[in-house]
Structure 1
Amino acid sequence: MKRTVEILGIPFYNVSQNAFVDELIDAAVNKERRFIVTANPEIVMHAQQDLEFNRAIQQADYIVADGIGVVKAAKSIGKPLKGRVTGYDTMLGLLEKANEMKMSVYFVGAKPNIIDKLIEHVKCEYKGIEIVGARDGYFTASDSEAIAEDILVNQADFVFLALGFPRQERWISTHLDKFDRGIFMGVGGSFDVLSGCTKRAPDFWVRFNLEWLYRILSQPSRWKRALAIPRFMLAMKKQRRHG
């Protein structure tokens, strides 16, 4: 049984970044199905208010801590996690392994020009990967069924969705029962970074767990989203008091 740490009702899988990638690769090799949610404080707080979204992510096989706030929250209740497990680093790790093992990938999400650049980058840098499908994120509910069918027909080993939350998690939750294999994971803005269209925070910011601040400074429009952090801290304070 996998070990989890509950933060505001969300069970976080206690695993290291590298061990998690290895675990997912094993599942893919064995043609198993997995649904992964990479959750930060913003996602945790959204799940408190949106019960439909909460139900969707509770279906996941793994919810991992993509956010230093979650890691610190676990430590504050005396149940430390092994560290952050980010969507971007998990995707990179899986692509590297998939490249070595000549596995297949399907990409869904982002703007049309970004998905085109992403495909170009993956074909150049990961020559062992078979891209069995790709679709930008501008599609309707009726298109959704066709995309799911295409993924099913092509039997992708890995399906990465860069639709932003809560849309990407809802998409996976809605269509998951159609599949009996494949690693499904929402990766937010990771296509923008991997394609080279957006820069990831420099190493200094990553090392000191300040990626969130770097994103706000480089994209001021995100400041409203950052308000979830103090709300999360307040909710954790209440959990500690009553826990």
Structure 2
Amino acid sequence: MDIDFVNKTQYQFLVEDIFPALHRKDKKFIVTANPEIVMKAREDDTFKKVIQEADYTVPDGIGIILAAKMLKTPLQERIAGFDLTLDLLNYADEYELSCYFLGAKEDVNEKAVKRVESDYPNIHIAGRHNGYFDFDDRKLAEEIAATSPDIVLVAAGFPKQEKWIAAYKDLFNHGLFMGVGGTFDVLAGEVKRAPEIWVKLNLEWFYRLLQQPRVRIKRTLKLFEFMWIILKNRKK
């Protein structure tokens, strides 16, 4: 579907690409793409261009891994956005980097940042802002850029978070930018992540469906639509 994925283990990706970029103070944009995001890109040419022009697109979702295997272009492993976020926070804590937290509800954003302050005391909080902002508010983007963050985590849901990063990252001198979806909700303790056994069995999507059936049903249907398209292409 015209989306190129990082074909490395999470460890390789971090050590070979991301940590050196942070050390050099490069500007990098990571997209964490699951089947739903790939399907959205299929329907939205602007969003597809944003993904294609990002520096890295990682396979966040077992559906991507299965599809790549079915098409005989296997990827080494799933790189979950939440796990990647924790690794970035650990690195930022170790090297005393600064992070900006943009997105989610106000109380969720506040709780998530307090959790980071508690668990990662060496991180400098460059600032935070909830997800209720005008996409065209350039002033907000300029204010965030003025804090000179090393890492910018945007939890505004796709495609808004990725489009926002693409639209405004040129205002920043450096930084690692990543859309993180519902990660702030987990950090804030508002949503529980699937138990480890569900993750190991690649059933995290099913756990989420059971936890939030009304929210997740449309996303699950998109997953099956994605796999159906992959099956048809494999036959061709």
Whether the TM-score (by the shorter chain) exceeds 0.5 is: yes
Identity of aligned residues (%): 47
CA distance in 2, matches of 1:141, 1:69: 30
Q: 1:173 aligns with which of 166, 173, 178?
A: 166
Other-structure match for 2:123: 129
Distance apart, 1:78 and its partner CA: 1.7
- 1:136 maps to a residue whose letter is N
State the secondary structure of the residue aligned to 2:94: helix
- 2:96 maps to a residue whose letter is K
Other-structure match for 1:141: 135
Q: Does 1:241 align with 2:235?
A: yes
CA distance in 2, matches of 1:11, 1:239: 17
Describe how 1:111-122 pairs up with structure 2 within 5 A.
111-122=105-116
Distance apart, 1:239 and its partner CA: 2.1
- 2:186 maps to a residue whose letter is V
Distance apart, 1:119 and its partner CA: 1.3
Other-structure match for 1:13: 6
Other-structure match for 2:201: 208
CA distance in 2, matches of 1:104, 1:21: 18
- 1:52 maps to a residue whose letter is T
* Higher mean C-alpha displacement, 106-115 vs 19-28: 19-28
Distance apart, 1:141 and its partner CA: 3.2
Cα deviation, 1:103-149, whole Å, max 9, x if unaligned, reads 0000000000011101111111100100011000011235x312211
Q: Does 1:65 align with 2:59?
A: yes
Other-structure match for 1:4: none
CA distance in 1, matches of 2:173, 2:106: 29
Asked if the contact 2:93–2:122 (Cα under 8 Å) also holds between the matched residues in 1, the reply is yes
State the secondary structure of the residue aligned to 1:193: helix
CA distance in 2, matches of 1:73, 1:157: 34
Gaps of 5+ in 2: none
Other-structure match for 1:3: none
State the secondary structure of the residue aligned to 2:18: helix
Cα deviation, 1:34-72, whole Å, max 9, x if unaligned, reads 011000011111111111111111110001100001001
Distance apart, 1:180 and its partner CA: 3.5
Describe how 1:90-109 pairs up with structure 2 within 5 A.
90-109=84-103
State the secondary structure of the residue aligned to 1:10: coil
Q: Does 1:75 align with 2:69?
A: yes
- 1:182 maps to a residue whose letter is G
Q: Does 1:45 align with 2:39?
A: yes
* Higher mean C-alpha displacement, 52-61 vs 174-183: 174-183
Distance apart, 1:171 and its partner CA: 0.5
Q: 1:194 aligns with which of 187, 197, 204?
A: 187
CA distance in 2, matches of 1:105, 1:65: 24
CA distance in 2, matches of 1:40, 1:152: 28
Distance apart, 1:79 and its partner CA: 1.7
Taking structure 1 as the reference length, the TM-score comes to: 0.93
CA root-mean-square deviation: 1.1
Asked if the contact 2:148–2:173 (Cα under 8 Å) also holds between the matched residues in 1, the reply is no
CA distance in 1, matches of 2:54, 2:44: 16
